[in-house]
Structure 1
Amino acid sequence: MVDFCDRFHYTVIKEEVNKMLTPERHQMILQLVKEQKVVKLQQLVERTESSESTIRRDLAQLEKQRLLKRVHGGASVLTGKGQEPTMIEKSSKNIQIKQQIAKYAASIVEQGDCVYLDAGSTTFEMIPFLINKDVTVVTNGLMHIEALVENNIRAYLLGGMMKSRTKALIGAMAQESMQKYRFDKCFLGANGVHEQLGFTTPDPEEALLKQMALTFANEGYFLIDESKFSEVAFAKIANVEEANIITNHLEIDLEKYKRQTNVIEADKQ
């Protein structure tokens, strides 16, 4: 009897302490999000020694205060529509998911295809899967062209001005170069896809190049991981129905996207 009472008393005290420490818990959550950019729910549960329901409430409150953004399975740093992560930052996020998407995307490239890979981190992951294919690749990505040459894949690099953050070539010269090519398929990245607002990216000049690639390709594919759904960046690229989507398996409802275009879940193929 005494043991039960002691445990009950401990539980009550622990719950009260957790309630008292809400500001400290919020501070810890915000610090982790700031340091890691994206934090999983389970990590927050373990670090704060709180329940999932408590952390979910915390995230809802912090999102309401515009201090972070809730994403599937956790939280991410809040960014403006015009903010753009560097290529290194993008390459280090969701790497296994990006490789899974990239592997499927490369599998639909056929022998003899001429394809366009834009300067995205997921399109970059396609390159190792193209090694044994007789293909021609055009890209505006400086990191991409280096990897293509190293892997002995026939490749062309667009001209233009280099963006240091994304290692992409953009501008009037890149647009002029793009007009010289026609593609069987193009594979593009985006910072967000929204069922009403379409595919978007922070830079209008990159958006224009992506639009041109879609125009000059028989088939267009956006490689979109789970963190990009319902996100909206500054510059619109295209409506959802204008290209196919290759993504990973999502727990979110994809029906609103599937009603508009072909959505391929790579891990189900």
Structure 2
Amino acid sequence: MLTEERQAKILAQLARDGVIKLQDLVKDLDSSTSTIRRDLQELEDQGKLVRVHGGAKAISTLQSEPGVVEKSTKNVHAKRQIAKLAVQQIRAGEVVYLDAGTSTEAMIPFMSNLDTVLVVTNGVQLASELADINVKTYLVGGELKNTTKAIIGADVVETIKKFRFNRVFMGVNGVHPKFGITTPDPNEAAVKRAVLAQSEVSYFLADASKLNEVSFAKVADLEAGVLLTDEDDQDILKDFEHLKQIMEAEK
């Protein structure tokens, strides 16, 4: 395989998944470790990716925020496995909050037997899908953010303060050992903080591409919840050992 062809495949996979692992590239591209390392170095020198331990990640800015359509095509398998693990934490009769986003939306196919659970959400798409499987759902009202289909704003925050939740499941844009849980939009961050303050137990759903990422607005410290992730590289996870708990989804 020509260098240009190999590097094009690397960038295509990175665009799809957000993060790529060195050993996966070695296997998928049938190339040596040294060859892939050289490719990653060249692509980083060209400003097309950022090398990290064991692989590479896409370049992002503090304000980068993909829309729902773009996010729905990324890391689909990882999100499904994390979602399955998340639903296993829910108990009959609980009041659960599902944050707007594709990671929490992936939980809904596993929730069809939770007919005694009440779900509160700020996700328009989530509310519709929950209704389709006859899960009792409360959709909070406020301003609709077109890109993420999330309800945000001061009205949402005031409404949330009137509720209590047994469990909160929250999608995140960045999970960093120093900067904590972050998201690009301060308005969404405000809603997330209000929700966390009303929760008995909170879970952050983060596929491997979200680890060591930082966005503009801080939501919470890492200790505010339990991290649910598909990342299984212990060298990466050791940076997050001060979390309350880390739960790894099955591959």
3-state SS of 2:228 partner: strand
3-state SS of 1:162 partner: strand
TM-score, normalised to structure 1, is: 0.82
Alignment match, 2:189: 207
Q: Pairwise mapping of residues 101-140 of structure 1 onto structure 2 (< 5 A)?
A: 101-133=82-114, 134-140=116-122
Alignment match, 1:186: 168
Alignment match, 2:8: 28
Tell me: CA distance 1:158–1:196, structure 2 relative to 1, closer, same or farther (3 Å). Answer: same
Alignment match, 1:255: 238
The worse-fitting range, judged by mean Cα deviation, of 42-51 and 74-83 is: 42-51
Q: Counterparts of 1:34 and 1:100 in 2: how far apart (Å)?
A: 20
Tell me: CA distance 1:35–1:125, structure 2 relative to 1, closer, same or farther (3 Å). Answer: closer
Unaligned ranges ≥5, structure 1: 1-17
Q: Counterparts of 2:66 and 2:243 in 1: how far apart (Å)?
A: 29
1:153 and 2:162 aligned: no
Pairing partner for 1:170 from 137, 146, 152: 152
Unaligned ranges ≥5, structure 2: none
Shift of 1:97: 1.3
Q: Counterparts of 2:58 and 2:171 in 1: how far apart (Å)?
A: 20
Q: Counterparts of 2:240 and 2:28 in 1: how far apart (Å)?
A: 36
Question: Contact 1:29–1:44 (CA<8 Å) still a contact in 2?
Answer: no
Question: Contact 1:249–1:267 (CA<8 Å) still a contact in 2?
Answer: no
Q: Counterparts of 2:84 and 2:13 in 1: how far apart (Å)?
A: 30
Question: Contact 2:104–2:171 (CA<8 Å) still a contact in 1?
Answer: yes
User: Higher Cα Rg: structure 1 or 2?
Assistant: 1
Q: Match of 1:242, as an amino acid? A: A
Shift of 1:132: 1.0
Tell me: CA distance 1:31–1:248, structure 2 relative to 1, closer, same or farther (3 Å). Answer: closer
Q: Deviations over 1:210-268 (max 9, x none)?
A: 11111000111101111111111111111111111111241142123123321111229
Shift of 1:159: 0.8
Superposition RMSD on alpha carbons, in Å? 2.7
3-state SS of 2:250 partner: helix
Q: Counterparts of 1:181 and 1:46 in 2: how far apart (Å)?
A: 49
Pairing partner for 2:66 from 79, 85, 99: 85
Q: Counterparts of 1:138 and 1:248 in 2: how far apart (Å)?
A: 25
1:70 and 2:51 aligned: yes
Tell me: CA distance 1:188–1:25, structure 2 relative to 1, closer, same or farther (3 Å). Answer: same
3-state SS of 1:250 partner: coil
3-state SS of 1:267 partner: coil
Aligned length: 248
Tell me: CA distance 1:242–1:42, structure 2 relative to 1, closer, same or farther (3 Å). Answer: closer
Question: Contact 2:16–2:73 (CA<8 Å) still a contact in 1?
Answer: no
Q: Counterparts of 2:247 and 2:82 in 1: how far apart (Å)?
A: 9
Q: Counterparts of 2:27 and 2:199 in 1: how far apart (Å)?
A: 47
1:265 and 2:213 aligned: no
3-state SS of 2:91 partner: coil
